[in-house]
Amino acid sequence: MDMDGDWPLPRPNTLIKVGRRLPGSALTGTSSIASTFSSLATPVIVDAVQRAKELATKSDAEGFHQLRISFRKLRALYWAYSPYLGEEVTAHATEEFRQLAEVAGGTRDWDIAGELLEVAKEKRASIELLVTAAREKRAQAVVHSQTVISGVDVEAFLNDVLLRAQTTLESRCNDLPIRAFAEERVRLAQRALKKRSRRAARSESVAEEELHDVRKAGKKLRYLLEFFQPVIKGEYGRKIKELASVQDKLGQFNDIAASEALIRSTTFNEVPPEVVLESLQWLEKQKCRRMRAASRRVRAMGG
């Protein structure tokens, strides 16, 4: 990922105070599609804005991680409402959310890599040099994330995209009830997860990309179930827990794979190449082990 690339965010025309709830009704099966969108999106936006303000002066890795999750949830929500938002509006908003999520996640990525290298250091003391270098890269990532986030008026931007979406939905589906629509979008997300899981399960050797696709599809379904659980029929609490369990296994694999890719793509001027190679060899072994565990869960789900 090119963290230094330029990607201008749209400047807002209208600002809504985030602390105030947008017009909408309580979440029930008879609520309109339009009013339910604002009810679901507003709490996520409130959380994102608060975290963005805190991270302007703090370097809390968990804060950056939670901000990334907020943007991922917004991507899932915009996908859910895309039939009425339209392809162009959805694609534009979700791309902006994706880029902001990547910026927010830069610090967290180095934290994960650093934690893994600390474990590797217990086996190979020479990796200490790379551990120190990773701490420096983490500090640089903090500055970069804070600079980008501070340069974007996150509150104005999020309120603007929310207002635009709300206006569009009110003009297209203000009188349509949410329940049938929500159930259909959840079914589509379930179908996508099952398709990706079965594709991975049929492979003799599950590829990293296939696991990544399953992970993304599982996250989308989980977020949608969390959003729509109050308005759809059925008890999905157990399903959400199952998805969380699978995501945990896939997340452990992803941490290793992402850390390996991060170290491979980074230049460490003060670290001998053989030390970097040694760390990559250790990460490769750990990745294979976690990949087998993740593959077993995916095969079970696909079966």
Task: Return the DSSP state at 6.
Answer: -
Point out the least confidently predicted range of 5-9, 47-51, 243-247: 5-9
CA gap 25, 23 in Å, rounded: 7
Q: Which domain holds residue 236?
A: 33-302
Is residue 261 scored above 80 in pLDDT? yes
CA gap 181, 273 in Å, rounded: 55
Residues 120, 111, 53, CA angle at the centre, nearest 5°?
175
Confidence (pLDDT) at 47: 95
Identify whether 16 is part of a domain.
Answer: no
Query: CB-based contacts of 278: which residues, under 8 Å, 6+ apart?
Result: 124, 126, 127
Is residue 134 scored above 90 in pLDDT? yes
Identify whether 11 is part of a domain.
Answer: no
How many C-beta neighbours within 10 Å does residue 37 have? 28
Contact 102, 55 (CB under 8 A): no
Per the structure, how many domains does the chain have? 1
Identify whether 194 is part of a domain.
Answer: yes
Identify whether 167 is part of a domain.
Answer: yes
Q: Dihedral (C-alpha) 127, 105, 137, 113: value to the nearest 10 degrees?
A: 0
For range 245-264, the mean pLDDT: 92
CA gap 183, 180 in Å, rounded: 5
How is residue 86 written in tokens? 């339209």
Is residue 256 scored above 60 in pLDDT? yes
Identify whether 170 is part of a domain.
Answer: yes
Task: Return the DSSP state at 125.
Answer: G
Contact 55, 105 (CB under 8 A): no
Confidence (pLDDT) at 208: 86
Q: What percent of the chain has pLDDT over 70?
A: 90
Point out the least confidently predicted range of 5-19, 94-108, 209-223: 5-19
Point out the least confidently predicted range of 8-17, 61-70, 196-205, 247-256: 8-17
Identify whether 25 is part of a domain.
Answer: no
pLDDT digit string, tens, across residues 160-186: 999 999 999 999 999 899 999 999 999
Identify whether 87 is part of a domain.
Answer: yes
Q: Which among 196, 216, 176, 238 has a CA at the least distance from the CA of 29?
A: 176
CA gap 127, 224 in Å, rounded: 42
Confidence (pLDDT) at 15: 40
Is residue 241 scored above 90 in pLDDT? no
Residue 148: which CATH number?
1.40.20.10
Calculate the average pLDDT of the chain.
Answer: 86
Is residue 4 scored above 60 in pLDDT? no
Confidence (pLDDT) at 14: 41
Confidence (pLDDT) at 148: 86
- What DSSP string runs through 149-185? HHHS-HHHHHHHHHHHHHHHHHHHHTTSBHHHHHHHH
Largest Cα–Cα distance in the chain? Answer: 65
Q: Dihedral (C-alpha) 210, 212, 215, 216: value to the nearest 10 degrees?
A: -110
Confidence (pLDDT) at 10: 39
Place of tokens 């590797």: 120
pLDDT digit string, tens, across residues 22-33: 343 467 778 899
pTM: 0.85
Identify whether 245 is part of a domain.
Answer: yes
What angle, 0 to 180 degrees and rounded to 10, lies between the N-to-C axes of helices 33-55 and 178-202?
A: 60
More confident: 81 or 23: 81
Confidence (pLDDT) at 280: 94
